[in-house]
Amino acid sequence: MPMCQVVEAYHDDLEQEEAQSVSKNCVKCKEAIAVVVIRAGDKHCRDCFEQYFRHKFRAILGKNRVVFPGEKVLLAVSGGSSSSSMLRQVQEGLSQNAHKKLRFMPGIVYIDEGGALDQSVEERRQTVAMMEDMFKATGFPFYIVPLEKVLDLPSSVIVMAPSSSQQQASSYKSSLDHFIRSNSGSCLTPEQKHETSLPYAQESQTQLLQQLIDCSKTLTAKEDILSMLRQHLLVHTARCEGYNKLMFGDNCTRLAVKLLSSISLGRGAQLAQDTSFSDSRYGDIISLRPMRDYSSKEIAYYRHIFNVPSVVTPNLHTKNKEKASIQRLTESFVNKLQVDFPSTVSTIYRTSEKLQTTCKSTSANPCDRCLLCMCSLDTTVENASAFQATRISERLSQCKSVGANSDLFPGQNTELRSPGTNCCSKGRGEHFERTVEDRGCCSSIRVPDTTDMSGLLCYSCQLTMKDMSSVECLPQYILSEAQIRQRRSRMKEEISDFLLDD
């Protein structure tokens, strides 16, 4: 049979298969027409999708039982789809007609990062005004904090504080009974319904913040530094306002990207804390991720169907190429792979649930934790390890560089100079962007350099510090805590002969 006749013979059957109707009923109620296709063969109508979305949020909170009745919980809202949907779920869970009502006292915090993104004052005012309108509609207390406030934080923010109440899951029932007997029908009282005045940072602080961001040579390091500073400011705000828990809007897709990018950045030892539901690295403030079971697709559908208000704000990756940073490249890789293989994100996410850290540190000694990310140090390895060999090679190469041309590394590696070298010159501060007067390397108030801080940082944070042109641009609370830990370490080394072994 000629080829043209074969095509004509099967042409009608092919057209008939393509003309099938795509409208199907909901897989749950079997009656209403489905409007959302979450996965292949998993179609929901509007009402069933709303129940599905609400049940998943309540289920993850009820299964973990970390938030106790009557506790104050601070919601970190950035204005994006994920955090805005989390805010809507909390708002509906506290309403009078909620089936299983939430029993904690929520607050909202928004970090204005316009100073780090070189936005104008007018652009920052417009963004803050839109966020304020969205927060006022909820009736919750809210706090709008500019990122410049991170420059004035105390050193205690990067010290693990003892937990005020070590409540266990077994005491959840008794705590719930006590809350019900106290007749606390509403979680919000009129005294708690307040908001902070709109803050505007000084221009000098904004310039210092931009200098800190510009000190990072790569966009990968800028993203890492900005994430740590944001976390420090959120923890400080929660402590000052009396909140015990911090809720983040990290969804399943974002955590999958974070897991792969963290491995690329050398944070394999901290993956369990960075991607788990709860994170207690700060002791008294516990970070929670109640949106971690939602994919970005589900959140986008929910926001579109139920008109969840959100504010789109730029970030460091805005208008940048996909190869601009490790985080951006990983995000592009996962999203493109998800298009052809729909189970990519869920597979990575389920893998993160099985991870456990091997660097558990229950010691109260702050020197056992990283100075920046507050995770347990993963650099305490044997002397014959590859990590120690790499560090020795780096020190030797830095020694040769300083001996050959000291101008290549101004203000760094001062510990490698010979004892007879005069290194306390007054003009040494001219190499830095901020003038430092009378701060020689032998001075008691000298700023620690990259070599000094290497023993206080985890492996990933050490890589981040190597991408910075000068560590002096770091906030003063980090530099002060580094000096305290260094003095404590030297004192312990001096009296080590008089100490008993553990």
Do 276 and 214 lie in one domain? The reply is: yes
Structure confidence at residue 168 as a pLDDT band (50, 70, 90): low
**Segment 39-52 mean pLDDT:** 88
Q: Is residue 460 part of a domain?
A: yes
Q: Is the pLDDT of residue 323 over 70?
A: yes
Q: What is the reported pLDDT for 350?
A: 86
Q: Is residue 502 part of a domain?
A: no
Q: Is residue 29 part of a domain?
A: no
Do 242 and 351 lie in one domain? The reply is: yes
Average pLDDT across the chain, whole number: 79
The secondary structure of 193-244, three-state, reads: CCECCCCCCCHHHHHHHHHHHHCECCHHHHHHHHHHHHHHHHHHHHHHHCCC
Q: What is the reported pLDDT for 102?
A: 87
Q: Is the pLDDT of residue 442 over 60?
A: no
Helices 219-241 and 459-466 cross at an angle (nearest 10°) of: 120
Per-residue model confidence as pLDDT tens digits over 169-188: 456 666 666 666 665 444 44
Do 338 and 405 lie in one domain? The reply is: no
Q: How many domains, in total, are found in the chain?
A: 2
Task: Judge contact between 253 and 81, C-beta under 8 A.
Answer: no
Residue 89 main-chain phi, psi, to 5 deg: -65, -40
Q: Is the pLDDT of residue 117 over 50?
A: yes
In this structure, are strands 42-44 and 105-112 parallel, antiparallel, or unpaired? unpaired
Structure confidence at residue 97 as a pLDDT band (50, 70, 90): confident
Do 101 and 241 lie in one domain? The reply is: yes
Q: Which DSSP letter does residue 75 get?
A: E
Kindly state the percentage of the chain with pLDDT values over 90.
40
- Tell me the residue range of the domain where 455 lies: 386-495
Task: Judge contact between 27 and 44, C-beta under 8 A.
Answer: yes
Do 337 and 464 lie in one domain? The reply is: no
* Helices first, then strands: H and E counts in the chain: 16, 8
Q: What is the reported pLDDT for 125?
A: 92
Do 171 and 313 lie in one domain? The reply is: yes
Q: What is the reported pLDDT for 88?
A: 95
Is residue 46 classed exposed, middle or buried when 0-12, 13-18 and 19+ CB atoms within 10 A define those classes? middle
Q: Is the pLDDT of residue 2 over 70?
A: no
The two structure tokens encoding residue 494: 């001096």
Angstrom distance (rounded) from CA 255 to CA 275: 6
Whose structure tokens read 């008939």? 16
Please list the residues that pair with 384 across neighbouring strands.
none
Q: Is the pLDDT of residue 167 over 80?
A: no
- From 93-102, 116-125, 253-262, 273-282, the region with the lowest mean pLDDT: 93-102
Q: Is residue 27 part of a domain?
A: no
Task: Judge contact between 469 and 217, C-beta under 8 A.
Answer: yes
Per-residue model confidence as pLDDT tens digits over 240-293: 999 999 999 999 999 999 999 999 998 888 888 889 899 989 988 999 999 999
Helical ranges in 65-103 per DSSP H: 81-93
Q: What is the reported pLDDT for 1?
A: 53
> 370 Cβ partners below 8 Å, 6+ apart?
376, 377, 456, 457, 458, 461
Do 110 and 246 lie in one domain? The reply is: yes
The secondary structure of 105-149, three-state, reads: EEEEEEEECCCCCCCCHHHHHHHHHHHHHHHHCCCCCEEEEEHHH
> 371 Cβ partners below 8 Å, 6+ apart?
158, 453, 456, 457, 461, 478, 481, 482, 485
Q: Is residue 148 part of a domain?
A: yes
CA angle (460, 357, 263) in 5-degree steps: 40
Q: Is residue 80 part of a domain?
A: yes
Structure confidence at residue 199 as a pLDDT band (50, 70, 90): low
Per-residue model confidence as pLDDT tens digits over 352-380: 878 776 655 555 566 788 899 988 887 77
Type of residue found at 226:
L
> 26 Cβ partners below 8 Å, 6+ apart?
32, 33, 34, 43, 44, 45, 48
Do 325 and 393 lie in one domain? The reply is: no
C-alpha to C-alpha distances, 39 to 313, 331, 429, nearest whole angstrom: 29, 21, 60
Which of 157, 165, 151 minimizes the C-alpha distance to 366? 157
Q: Is residue 371 part of a domain?
A: no
Do 396 and 319 lie in one domain? The reply is: no
Q: Is the pLDDT of residue 90 over 90?
A: yes
Higher per-residue pLDDT: 15 or 254? 254
Q: What is the reported pLDDT for 405?
A: 45
Task: Judge contact between 54 and 97, C-beta under 8 A.
Answer: no
- From 255-264, 447-456, 490-499, the region with the lowest mean pLDDT: 447-456
Q: Is residue 260 part of a domain?
A: yes
Do 353 and 443 lie in one domain? The reply is: no
Q: What is the CATH number of the domain that holds 223?
A: 3.40.50.620
How many residues does this entry show for the chain?
Answer: 502
Residue at which a domain ends, from 341, 357, 373: 357
Task: Judge contact between 259 and 267, C-beta under 8 A.
Answer: no
Do 351 and 425 lie in one domain? The reply is: no
Do 453 and 314 lie in one domain? The reply is: no
Q: Is the pLDDT of residue 71 over 70?
A: yes
Q: What is the reported pLDDT for 431?
A: 42
The two structure tokens encoding residue 281: 């690295």
